[in-house]
Amino acid sequence: MEKKIVKIKVNGDWHEALVKQNMTLLEFIREELNLTGTKEACDEGECGACTLIMDGRSVNSCLVPIMEANGKEITTIEGLAKGQDLHPLQKAFIENGALQCGFCTPGMIMSSKALLDNNPKPTEAEIKGAIAGNICRCTGYNMIVEAVKMAAEPKS
Amino acid sequence: MRLPKFEHLQPTRLDEAFDLLERHKGEAKLLAGGTDIIVRMKHRMMTPKYLVSLSRIPDLDYIRSDDGALKIGAMARLNDIGDHPVVNKDWAILAQAARSIGSVQSRNRATMAGNICNASPSADSAPSLIALNSQVVLVSKGGERILPVEEFFKGPGETAIKAGEILKEIQVPKMNPKSGGYYLKYSMRGAMDLAIVGVACIVTPNGKAGYCEDVRIVLGAVCPTPLRIREAEEALKNKAVDEAVLEKAARIAMDESCPISDVRSSAEYRKKMVKVMTRRAFNKALSLAKAK
């Protein structure tokens, strides 16, 4: 199995790398780029901890073979804040205490971001549908839903 | 869990894909969205030496309805089908089935073509496709053939697709505007879980109160393949459907099902639920038809 070259735009910057073909997008993000905000948990598309945004859509990066991501634009949790200025979703998660251990949080926020990018004023049912593929084992779902609502309608 | 080693081939034309399938016969698998095959490969249930990806072949990712029929390309993603305004209007049962599969993240990658090629007995798109009398276009170097989706499934994980063939398109005939259709997925965790029982039902009332000129009932997850229950359909056609008639038809569906016991449910429970869900799916489809 020879290595292949991929070119992937991550959080605004193009990265070119020689990779093993059996690498996943998740492994590339964490191990080649050292962006460890995207989490590895079930590694089989059930838990959503590895959610990131590829060409505008949320995907489980553990199920994307790296060659399928060639030429694509990726946003990870690290791409949301602008310097010290947090993204409205990040602020809303903090303000609502929408995390306990924090392991599911990057995935939750990326799923929520994909939702709000396409549907800025979602209903509660739409929010729940958008994060149905993200499992929180501390079971703090209510606050997460509240946080997404707040990010969608920030208090003035 | 790491993926086993494989060569990732990305042809840019269908011809090229046929050549690769022929050259690596028996060692290659087609890759669409990857949400099933990548998991199987990680678990070493499947270790193809080559993955032939369809993602770089132009013009496979489409949803068209120009001549009345719905045409779904091999690379059309489940979310695109589930969110498509025309599919939601004219083939609502199919849009609903597409949205009943997995998480948003999965549906952003997974394709309907892949869902049926994987041929899981619980594939959520299958019962609705069969109820709609859909067919698949299978292309190969030698040409193409068209097969009803009902004849496509041969057993768990087994389809009528031959070596060297690619499922290029799903074709769904125009739905009668008077018809109502509903896919009832009974599962513990909604779309995130596999169906214990799936029932697709399409009902066409004929104007006379309680009468239906056409009824289609297809079960998923309770047989080695999705199963159309024609005897139950006949029991509901062209007569006044009351509780007793519906009960009888639902019992036929239950008797025809041949489920297995697994972690989700015992076979006995599945059978009982076939009866309950068939009744519910019929009533829901009828109310949708009446609302038109």
- CATH, residue B104: 3.30.465.10
pLDDT > 80? residue B191:
yes
Q: Does the residue B58 lie in any domain?
A: no
* Structure confidence by residue, pLDDT tens digits, B275-284: 999 999 999 9
Report the CATH number at residue B23.
3.30.43.10
- Residue by residue, DSSP assigns A96-140 as TT--SS-SSHHHHHHHHHHHHHH-SS--HHHHHHHTTT---TT--
Q: Which chain B residues are Cβ-neighbours of A132 within 8 angstroms?
A: 103-104, 190-192
Could you say which of A22, A43, A65 has the minimum Cβ distance to residue B34? A65
**What is the model's pLDDT at position A155?**
61
% of chain B with per-residue pLDDT over 90:
94
- The boundaries of the domain holding residue A58 are 4-79
Q: Do A45 and B31 touch (CB under 8 A)?
A: no
Question: Is B188 at the interface with chain A, CB within 8 A?
Answer: no
* Structure confidence by residue, pLDDT tens digits, B145-164: 999 999 999 999 999 999 99
Q: Does the residue B275 lie in any domain?
A: yes
Same domain, A24 and A41: yes
- β-pairing verdict for B50-53 and B28-31: parallel
- The boundaries of the domain holding residue B95 are 63-172
pLDDT > 90? residue B197:
yes
ipTM: 0.96
| Residue among B132, B31, B79 nearest A118 (CA) | B79
* Structure confidence by residue, pLDDT tens digits, A63-115: 999 999 999 999 999 999 999 999 999 999 999 999 999 999 999 999 999 99
% of chain B with per-residue pLDDT over 70:
100
Nearest CA in chain B to A42: B1
Rounded to whole angstroms, how far apart are CA atoms A50 and A134? Answer: 9
* Structure confidence by residue, pLDDT tens digits, B160-182: 999 999 999 999 999 999 999 99
Q: 3-state class of A76 per DSSP?
A: coil
Burial A66-83 (b: 16+ CB within 10 A, else e): bbbbbebebbbbbbbeee
Query: Which residues between 71 and 130 in chain A have a beta carbon less than 8 angstroms from any beta carbon of chain B?
Result: 111, 114-115, 129-130
Q: B42 CA to chain A: closest CA distance, Å?
A: 8
Q: Which chain B residues are Cβ-neighbours of A133 within 8 angstroms?
A: 102-106, 192
Q: Does the residue B2 lie in any domain?
A: no
Query: Which residues between 7 and 36 in chain B have a beta carbon less than 8 angstroms from any beta carbon of chain A?
Result: 7-8, 10, 31, 34-35
Nearest CA in chain B to A107: B105
Q: Does the residue B91 lie in any domain?
A: yes
* Structure confidence by residue, pLDDT tens digits, B115-154: 999 999 999 999 999 999 999 999 999 999 999 999 999 9
Q: A63 CA to chain B: closest CA distance, Å?
A: 6
Mean pLDDT over B176-204 rounds to 94
Same domain, A67 and A11: yes
* Structure confidence by residue, pLDDT tens digits, B2-51: 999 999 999 999 999 999 999 999 999 999 999 999 999 999 999 999 99
pLDDT > 70? residue A156:
no
User: How many distinct structural domains can be found in chain B?
Assistant: 3
Q: Does the residue B113 lie in any domain?
A: yes
Same domain, B25 and B49: yes
Q: B3 CA to chain A: closest CA distance, Å?
A: 6
**What is the model's pLDDT at position B67?**
87
Among residues B172, B207, B222, which one ends one of the domains? B172
Report the CATH number at residue A113.
1.10.150.120
Report the CATH number at residue A20.
3.10.20.30
